[in-house]
């Protein structure tokens, strides 16, 4: 059976209501050109569906597929899609870059649903005089970085290291990058936004009100409406950034270095961000794990070497390990791209190689003992494929209150863990094997990480920590399970906002913010 034959069918008349734009704010003959259905043009539908799938786990013949895909080119198209889906009783999934790790922006457990793919709404405008940037939700981080770098050598934006991540999902989920210790998260820089609400209205910060504006800065915009754009503050940076990458095997004291890293990285100079990647590797036909220390420093190599010599001499960083780059070229370096290539490559929406992947997250609030790290390395070698990415906090992250935006993971966290499992083989059995391995390491790490709740990062979507079940009180109770892990006490304010702006829960997904019902207690 071909892919399209597995797509649930909506009534033909309903399909054409969407295509004709019956619910558009104004007559628009272009609407049919941005609506894709397998029943009308299978080739185009398939191409658009696959264009932004960033996890091959959700690009199989058995993966649920939308009945319709809408690719708006103007805001009235988004309004039409919202009003049409609402009228037809269809779930609306919203996709900007397609990096949702569990595919929730384009896969659903509901029978009939529409995907609103924002890739054509990708305008970026930078105003260096006001030190701001306007960026539409369908733009990718790489485009935002490129346009800022073209206007100034002394400005940047603190967001993710992967250039193909969509702005809409990244900013609405929290967003962070190698400058978070200096400037905080991406959403800490948001000063305005535009959104289409459940009534089809286009609202900005003033017209949506401060509660809704608060909610879409880290609370997951897709629970409240369709985010069209953000206006953000750019940040001032030095003309030179310095990067380095140093890898140590277990035999080269990798365990001791990771132990020392966790003590130093959160309190070192705020201009320095050092990520540690603990990954499987084969050396001399022997499987083992290694620790790779990757740094981004806002400043020249001389200053960096001085900081490292004083605070982390054990790593042994030397002048020849350091590479001085512009901020834009440091983005290429961190994305594992050739930093000498033209920075226009950041505009390419398909830079990265797409593999199968699994992700999870944790936060560490107390240093892990040296013997604890030894046990973690041993467990990882036993399991085989799972890697850990350790991202330090401190600096600005400790200065911002937990309730400033919905993203709450601030003071008290030493570092964040990303569990990372990747593979390229098409063997369908591997997903089960690697999922089991990843869950096993996650379970093993329980004693080392945050508790009550065990916290998670929304941008590292993980359905294992809970999903919404049922309606009414049951949806609230199930939503609270994952909601408090993502948002801590901010979850309760998010529920109040959701109940006010979308009481019928039109904007929903498997981990959306639930509506408060009479029997539920905040």
pLDDT at 2: 46
Per-residue pLDDT at 240 exceeds 60: yes
Distance separating alpha carbons of residues 496 and 451, to the nearest angstrom: 25
Residue 49 CA to chain centroid, in angstroms? 19
Instruction: Provide the H-helix boundaries in 312-409.
Output: 327-334, 370-383
CATH architecture of 124-236: 2-Layer Sandwich (3.30)
Residue, of 155 and 39, whose pLDDT is higher? 155
521 close to 515: Cβ distance less than 8 angstroms: no
Query: 3-state class of 34 per DSSP?
Result: helix
Residue 489 CA to chain centroid, in angstroms? 21
What is the rounded average pLDDT of the residues 489-497?
98
pLDDT at 407: 98
Residue, of 478 and 30, whose pLDDT is higher? 478
Residue, of 239 and 282, whose pLDDT is higher? 239
From 183, 149, 147, select the one nearest 167 (Cα to Cα): 147
340 close to 278: Cβ distance less than 8 angstroms: no
Identify the residue whose tokens are 């993980």.
462
Q: Which residues contact 231 (CB under 8 A, 6 or more apart)?
A: 132, 133, 134, 135, 190, 191, 192, 193
Q: Give the CA-trace dihedral at 414, 419, 422, 427, to 10 degrees.
A: 180
Per-residue pLDDT at 28 exceeds 80: no
Distance separating alpha carbons of residues 279 and 273, to the nearest angstrom: 19
Q: Give the range among 23-37, 98-112, 226-240, 453-467 with minimum mean pLDDT.
A: 23-37
> Phi and psi dihedrals of 283, rounded to 5?
-120, 120
pLDDT at 11: 55
What is the rounded average pLDDT of the residues 15-42?
75
Structure tokens at 323: 């590479």
Q: How many CB atoms sit inside 10 A of residue 520's CB?
A: 18
Q: Is 460 a catalytic residue?
A: yes
Distance separating alpha carbons of residues 338 and 345, to the nearest angstrom: 10
331 close to 316: Cβ distance less than 8 angstroms: no
Structure tokens at 310: 């004083």
Instruction: Answer yes or no: same fold for 9-117 and 124-236.
Output: no
What is the rounded average pLDDT of the residues 263-271?
98
Per-residue pLDDT at 307 exceeds 50: yes
Identify the residue whose tokens are 């319709």.
68
Per-residue pLDDT at 151 exceeds 80: yes
Query: For the domain 9-117, what is the CATH code?
Result: 3.30.43.10
Helix (H) or strand (E) holding 475: helix 472-487
Per-residue pLDDT at 489 exceeds 50: yes
Per-residue confidence band for 15, with pLDDT thresholds at 50, 70 and 90: low
Per-residue pLDDT at 217 exceeds 90: yes
What is the rounded average pLDDT of the residues 65-83?
95
The active-site residue, picked from 460, 476, 482, 486, is 460
Q: Which residues contact 512 (CB under 8 A, 6 or more apart)?
A: 220, 222, 223, 468, 479, 505
Q: Which residues contact 97 (CB under 8 A, 6 or more apart)?
A: 52, 54, 140, 164, 165, 166, 167, 168, 169, 170
Share of the chain above pLDDT 70, in %: 94
pLDDT at 286: 83
Structure tokens at 30: 């272009």
Q: Give the range among 16-20, 74-78, 234-238 with minimum mean pLDDT.
A: 16-20
For the chain, the residue count is: 522
Query: What are the domain boundaries of the chain?
Result: 9-117, 124-236
402 close to 189: Cβ distance less than 8 angstroms: no
pLDDT at 1: 42
The pairing of beta strand 241-249 with beta strand 323-325? antiparallel
Per-residue confidence band for 206, with pLDDT thresholds at 50, 70 and 90: very high
Average pLDDT along the chain: 93
445 close to 437: Cβ distance less than 8 angstroms: no
376 close to 417: Cβ distance less than 8 angstroms: no
Q: What is the DSSP letter of 446?
A: G
pLDDT at 9: 60
What is the rounded average pLDDT of the residues 455-473?
94
């Amino acid at each position: 059976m071909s892919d399209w034959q597995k797509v649930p069918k909506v009534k033909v008349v309903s399909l054409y209501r969407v295509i004709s734009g019956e619910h558009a704010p104004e007559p628009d003959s272009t609407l049919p050109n941005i609506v894709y259905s397998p029943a009308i043009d299978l080739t185009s539908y398939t191409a658009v569906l696959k264009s932004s799938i960033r996890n091959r786990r959700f690009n199989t013949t058995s993966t649920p597929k939308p009945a319709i895909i809408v690719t708006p080119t103007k805001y009235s198209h988004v309004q039409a899609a919202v009003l049409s889906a609402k009228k037809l009783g269809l779930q609306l999934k919203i996709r900007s870059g397609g990096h949702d790790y569990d595919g929730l922006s384009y896969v659903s457990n509901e029978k009939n649903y529409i995907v609103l793919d924002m890739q054509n709404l990708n305008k970026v405008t930078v105003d260096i005089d006001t030190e701001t940037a306007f960026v539409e939700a369908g733009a990718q981080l790489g485009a935002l970085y490129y346009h800022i770098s073209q206007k100034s050598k002394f400005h940047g934006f603190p967001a993710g290291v992967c250039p193909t991540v969509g702005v809409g999902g990244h900013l609405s989920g929290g967003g962070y990058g190698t400058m978070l210790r200096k400037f905080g998260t991406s959403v800490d820089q948001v000063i305005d936004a535009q959104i289409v609400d459940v009534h089809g209205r286009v609202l900005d910060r003033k017209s949506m009100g401060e509660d809704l504006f608060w909610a879409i800065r880290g609370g997951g915009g897709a629970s409240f409406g369709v985010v069209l754009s953000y206006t953000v503050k750019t940040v001032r940076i030095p003309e030179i950034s310095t990067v380095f990458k140093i890898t140590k095997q277990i035999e080269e004291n990798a365990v001791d270095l990771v132990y020392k890293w966790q003590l130093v990285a959160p309190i070192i100079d705020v201009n320095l961000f050092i990520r540690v990647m603990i990954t499987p590797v084969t050396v001399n036909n022997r499987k083992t794990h290694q620790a790779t220390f990757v740094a981004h420093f806002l400043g020249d190599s001389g200053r960096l070497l001085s900081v490292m010599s004083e605070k982390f001499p054990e790593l042994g960083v030397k002048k020849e390990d350091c590479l001085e780059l512009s901020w834009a070229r440091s983005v290429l370096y961190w994305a594992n791209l050739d930093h000498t290539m033209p920075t226009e490559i950041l505009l390419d929406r398909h830079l990265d190689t797409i593999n199968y992947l699994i992700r999870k997250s944790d936060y560490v609030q107390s240093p892990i003992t040296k013997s604890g790290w030894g046990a973690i390395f041993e467990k990882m070698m036993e399991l085989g494929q799972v890697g850990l990415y350790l991202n330090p906090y401190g600096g600005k992250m400790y200065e911002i209150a937990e309730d400033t935006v919905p993203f709450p993971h601030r003071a008290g966290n030493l570092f964040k863990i990303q569990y990372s499992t990747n593979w390229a083989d098409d063997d369908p059995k591997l997903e089960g094997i690697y999922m089991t391995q990843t869950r096993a390491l996650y379970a093993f790490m329980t004693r080392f990480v945050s508790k009550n709740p065990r916290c998670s990062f929304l941008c590292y979507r993980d359905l294992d920590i809970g999903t919404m079940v049922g309606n009414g009180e049951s949806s609230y109770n199930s939503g609270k399970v994952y909601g408090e892990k993502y948002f801590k006490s901010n979850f309760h304010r998010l529920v109040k906002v959701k109940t006010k702006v979308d009481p019928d829960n039109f904007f929903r997904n498997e981990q959306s913010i639930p509506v408060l019902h009479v029997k539920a207690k905040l």
